[in-house]
Chain A
Amino acid sequence: MNTKTTNVVIAGLGGQGVLKASDILADAAFRAGYDVKKSEIHGMSQRGGSVSSDVRFGREVFSPMVPPGEADYLVVLAPDQVEVNRPVLRAGGLLIAPDLIGENVLPNRRSLNVALLGALSRHLEIGESHWLDALRAHLPEKLHEANLAAFAIGRKAVKP
């Protein structure tokens, strides 16, 4: 297991499922046995404004917030939120932008959050079974099939 803390920032607009995605990521890392912390701001952000959520996991995590310029991964759900959030990435950090998943690839664009998690999952040391368990735990049963498919599409979008 990787002992260094991994820093992920997920960003987008209110209503896009940013917090849902960070819940799933945090839970997957928790199931994989890491210490995990997740942080975001609720409240005003729910009214269509910018939303971002920090997830950190490793052997022992202290602050729940990713320090500016120290994110290893930045996952962005809205095209116009890419540049706003880019400063959180460290030098050499990886941006996973919404255009990674083509406009008509997903049967429903609402599952973009989960598709981008699929892409992210290629880069993290978290077993696929933990991801799938976390997905099932955080989504209502009727949405499982569509989201598991979106997750698989995201995984395929990144070369192994």
Chain B
Amino acid sequence: MEQKLKLKNEIFETIKNLAEDNTLLVDEETSLIGEAGLLDSMKLVELCLTLEDRASDIGFEFDWTSDSAMSKSRGMFRTAGALCNEFISQMEAKT
């Protein structure tokens, strides 16, 4: 539980850094893409690559191209919370 919370905060912090706005409050509901989205396509890819590296440190492969990750109405990139949940769910399935 503690690890999950720590990971979520790490991911939120990464998103905040990529958005280059220190005043920003990133939470579960923060939109990543779309009209109100924080990240452009380049930043989104950078986020995925950062998460790949983090997953590798933890000991699993983060797959951001899978059908299940991409589906569910624009998939894991809808919100910061959806992305965290996908990352954690892949971690739990693979470790």
A, B assembled together: no
